[in-house]
Structure 1
Amino acid sequence: MKLTKYILILFTVIITSCSLDEVWYDRVVPETFFKTEGDVLAALYRPFTHARWYLTGDRWVAQEFSGDHFARTTKGRHWYDGGRYARYQHHEWTPDESQLFGTWRGTLQGVALALDVKQDLGKLDYQELALSEEDKAAHLGQLDALIAFFYLRGLDFYGGLPIFTSLDQEDVPRSTDKETFDHIESLLKQALIDLSVKEVGAPQEGAITKGAAAVMLARLYFNAEAYIGIPMYDEAAEISQALINNEYGTYSLDTDWKGPHDFENDQSPEIIWSIPSEFNRLEYTHYGHMYHYNSRVYFDVDLGSNNGTHLQPSRRPDGTLYSEDFKLGSPYEKFEDTDLRKKPFKYFGSGSYEGMFLVGAQISPINGDQVVGNEEYNGQPLEFVDQVARFSELGSTYSTIADLPSNIGAGEENTGIRLVKIPVPSSQDLTLRWAADHPVFRLAEVYLMLAECQVRLGDPSSAAELINTVRMRAFEGGNDPNPATSGNLDLYRMADEWGVEFLGEGRRRTDLIRLGFFTTEKWWDHSPSNSSHLNRFPVPTAALSASNVLEQNPGY
């Protein structure tokens, strides 16, 4: 199969609403198309729109529903969906999962689009377009880094992938994990030579600079033990420290926990790479799945919500904490009570807000209107609970609370706390809607990467200092009631720190695998399989059917 097929598949999706009289080609012709700098930039950033799509959707489902933070419970007549969410919860997925094929295809589509543009720009005489050779190197460096980004994610999901270096290769088999790792490494090392650093004080507008490529290389080394069986924490620590020392560009932690996520997060000094998303819902549709149909009353704006996803419960049906049963999960209760993020989300107008959860009684902070249910609690006040059970069936199907099961099939419309990671403005401030860009890399990740490396390398005191530097901004006056110390810091605490800081940012499965917990630990409605082959997803059946050279991962 030629890699251009992945481009054609994508274009088919894009142009289905266009006139069939138009002629479409699988590549840009440099000699006829590139006339101005604007033409070059339009081509350069086309693959970035695919990256924006790739960061959400199927990838988010695979990363978060297979972990210990989120679930999409069956809520009466809603959300069974053929049992797919139960399969992710119980680690019983199959090669036929649509999300896994969407991710496989989307990964190679991203590689194809970036390679296509790289080949075309590589042929151009930039001086004829009033551009410099430095501009050309920086553009090609961005595309190398973008190809590495897709391969890095693909390696994380599936292991070794077919390695393409041009669009003309056919019947390319999967490379080994190590060969794929080495290819990513070489792309990023070249990108670090070619890319420029972010200008001091400049907003992040979607371009990949030297700092973003450095984060990717640090991520590659940070997860090397999971990817290729070779620990590379020293290498990850070295790059992370260099990033903190501003050797790859000038960045600093935002002083406000909201800064990397708010309406003007392109200005945050913490953002290393983000993708613009103003007035475009595409990036955050997975957050829209978290809100109740009537959350439009709470927000004073309609988000097209469908009441699907929520945090996994911290409490049993009787109200007691699950922390006695397992160390992972219980995401809401992993936040300290004085953590500013744990407050209910309230929008105050003019871009000002607090908190990041929909929890408890849902009374609009905008106008005081009461949110009511329309399923099990039709017409009754809606209250989101940190529990999963069919409380509406007490006295009928179930005699007492002790009889209530709590599992992926036992949800109700008010089940689970909902995350508002991206602020939602009221109807009075619609110009801010979707104004927040999608943060891909931020400096807090670098701090926690270095901290975990220090834990593994025997320096928990230095690790605790790094963690507390990130934590302190989430508490009034920096008064953290539970700071990390050399005495309380282990890999379980690291799992909690990753979970609190990056809740809902589409990385939980990766962290659990690296920490050694993904197939060995228990969490809500999940028993460990102790089957290490589940650390990789299967190659989708649809991909195998389209090729006579692809091989399935072991264990499937």
Structure 2
Amino acid sequence: IRLLDTYRNIEIITKVKGENKGKEQSTPQETFNFIENELLQSVPNLPTNTTLGVNGLGRWTKGAAMSLLSRLYLNAKVYTGQDKFAQCAVVCQDIIDGKYGSYNLESRWDAPFDYNNGTSSENIFAFPSSFGFTHWQYTSGMYFWSYPVNTPQYFGFTDYGNMNPKFSLQPGRDINDVELSTTLGKPFVKFQKYADDVRLKKYKNLGGSKREGMFLFGYLPYKNASGNTVNVEGTKGYTLYIRDAVGYFLNTPPGVAPSDKESNMNHADQNSGIPSVKYPWYPSDDANKIASSYAEIRLAEIYYALAECKYRTGDKAGASTLLNRVRSRYYPAASASLYKTDGSSLTDQEILDEWGREFLTEGRRRTDMIRWGVFNKGTWWDKQPDADN
């Protein structure tokens, strides 16, 4: 599915031994049909998560295979030109109803990503991970390259040395702290739209394999070797104050705009851009450090896919109910941040924004934007639309 999603025209290889030449590329429709058939044929022979119990981590199940089918159907229109939202809705409803196994949404937002998420009732498929074995999502190719160099001082996790600030969230504000006028991007601003979201707290380790918050911003205090509380510094000696903007801030205090007004991908210091901390970085002395499995498919995705299918048929109330089933864990009871039950809170842009909030840094944003027809349209921070596709 990832290959189809990225390239459309790919080779379907079903035999390797004795072959010395690749096949001709298949059309998107041929690849779609192949994937659909493979999934439907495999499901009767797969176990359920209830059958496997604690041995189910990393195993493909009926629920996981049908979840892949829901992804295929949800994006069928852009893959083949023919929508299958109705078929997607049926598959999603069956998964939610327990036809392919027993799954439930977690009441804590971070439970699907915590150290014991291998047994999370929300995770339909996860890649196993542990400190002493495979833990690829924590390594240099992914989240380890998402934080300023000296952030391990704040986390208290020093086993791997310093980090690398290669990635951060696209900024939502300009160099003068004014919100960007673009519709696309601005993920942190879109979280702040609902200010009582518990995920908006600054990430902090609480001890005992517990944490709060999903973002790093502002100062990052820690106790140094002398027992004094100091703030994390950048590699050039300036004290970090992380902002939702990009530029050379250096020691510029909060609330003050730097004299250097340049802001682009090639002109930034370690104060620039909000990092997301979806998977916990527990301290080096925590028994459950680097133990989270990578959640590839969550039940929340099935709720969101079904909600989108309902929205597309005009059932905004039904879509709101489904989305709020997931979103209710982020806000206080009866919060105004929950969608109105009549569906009037929802628009195309809000649906797309909500996909972005729920699945931030989970590797599906490009797919969702293409499905909604905005991936190669509009203006982003530091990115004008190209003349072609």
Length-normalised TM-score, structure 1: 0.64
Aligned counterparts of 1:181 and 1:383: Cα–Cα separation in 2: 47
- The answer to whether structure 1 residue 406 and structure 2 residue 281 are counterparts is no
Q: Which residue of 2 aligns with 1:111?
A: none
Report the CA distance shift for 1:393/1:260 in structure 2 as closer, same or farther (over 3 A): closer
Q: What is the CA deviation profile of residues 401-459 of structure 1, one whole-angstrom value per residue up to 9, with x for unaligned ones? A: 58612221221121111111110111220x31221101110100000001111111111
Q: Which residue of 2 aligns with 1:182?
A: 33
Q: 1:490 aligns with which of 347, 360, 370?
A: 347
Q: Which residue of 1 aligns with 2:42?
A: 191
Kept in 2: contact 1:160–1:178 (CA 8 A): no
Q: 1:348 aligns with which of 206, 225, 240?
A: 206
Kept in 1: contact 2:331–2:338 (CA 8 A): no
Report the CA distance shift for 1:478/1:530 in structure 2 as closer, same or farther (over 3 A): farther
- Within 5 A, what are the aligned runs for 1:63-462? 152-168=1-17, 169=19, 170-199=21-50, 202-203=53-54, 204-279=56-131, 280-285=134-139, 286-302=142-158, 303=160, 304-322=162-180, 325-335=181-191, 336-364=194-222, 368-375=229-236, 378=237, 380-392=238-250, 404-429=261-286, 431-462=287-318
Kept in 2: contact 1:358–1:418 (CA 8 A): yes
Task: Give 1:176 deviation, angstroms.
Answer: 0.8
Deviation larger for 483-492 or 158-167: 483-492
Kept in 1: contact 2:76–2:84 (CA 8 A): yes
Structure 1 portions without partners, runs of 5+:
1-151, 395-399, 533-556
Deviation larger for 361-370 or 224-233: 361-370
Aligned counterparts of 1:237 and 1:187: Cα–Cα separation in 2: 20
Task: Give 1:483 deviation, angstroms.
Answer: 2.2
Q: Which of the pair has more CA radius of gyration? A: 1
Aligned counterparts of 1:262 and 1:476: Cα–Cα separation in 2: 22
Task: Give 1:171 deviation, angstroms.
Answer: 2.8
Task: Give 1:387 deviation, angstroms.
Answer: 0.6
Kept in 1: contact 2:250–2:271 (CA 8 A): no
Aligned counterparts of 1:256 and 1:365: Cα–Cα separation in 2: 29
Kept in 1: contact 2:247–2:261 (CA 8 A): yes
Aligned counterparts of 1:402 and 1:221: Cα–Cα separation in 2: 51
Q: Give the match's secondary structure for 1:409.
A: coil
Q: Which amino acid aligns with 1:244?
A: I
Aligned counterparts of 1:155 and 1:221: Cα–Cα separation in 2: 13
Matched pairs, number: 370
Aligned counterparts of 1:234 and 1:501: Cα–Cα separation in 2: 23
Report the CA distance shift for 1:482/1:197 in structure 2 as closer, same or farther (over 3 A): closer
Task: Give 1:355 deviation, angstroms.
Answer: 0.4
Q: Which residue of 2 aligns with 1:505?
A: 362
Report the CA distance shift for 1:393/1:301 in structure 2 as closer, same or farther (over 3 A): closer
Task: Give 1:488 deviation, angstroms.
Answer: 2.6
| Greater per-residue helix proportion | 1
Q: Which amino acid aligns with 1:405?
A: E
Task: Give 1:311 deviation, angstroms.
Answer: 0.8
The RMSD of aligned alpha carbons is: 2.0
Aligned counterparts of 1:448 and 1:275: Cα–Cα separation in 2: 22
Q: What is the CA deviation profile of residues 187-242 of structure 1, one whole-angstrom value per residue up to 9, with x for unaligned ones? A: 00011121121117934411000000000011001001111111111111110111
Kept in 1: contact 2:11–2:24 (CA 8 A): yes
Q: Which amino acid aligns with 2:37?
A: S
Q: Which amino acid aligns with 2:231?
A: Q
Q: Give the match's secondary structure for 1:476.
A: coil
Q: Which residue of 2 aligns with 1:12?
A: none
Length-normalised TM-score, structure 2: 0.90
Q: Which amino acid aligns with 1:246?
A: G
Report the CA distance shift for 1:494/1:530 in structure 2 as closer, same or farther (over 3 A): farther
Aligned counterparts of 1:480 and 1:257: Cα–Cα separation in 2: 18
- The answer to whether structure 1 residue 523 and structure 2 residue 380 are counterparts is yes
Aligned counterparts of 2:380 and 2:223: Cα–Cα separation in 1: 34
Q: What is the CA deviation profile of residues 297-344 of structure 1, one whole-angstrom value per residue up to 9, with x for unaligned ones? A: 10111244112111111111111111xx22221111111221111111
Q: What is the CA deviation profile of residues 92-138 of structure 1, one whole-angstrom value per residue up to 9, with x for unaligned ones? A: xxxxxxxxxxxxxxxxxxxxxxxxxxxxxxxxxxxxxxxxxxxxxxx
Kept in 2: contact 1:290–1:310 (CA 8 A): yes
Kept in 2: contact 1:206–1:276 (CA 8 A): yes
Kept in 2: contact 1:447–1:466 (CA 8 A): yes
Report the CA distance shift for 1:200/1:383 in structure 2 as closer, same or farther (over 3 A): farther
Structure 2 portions without partners, runs of 5+:
none
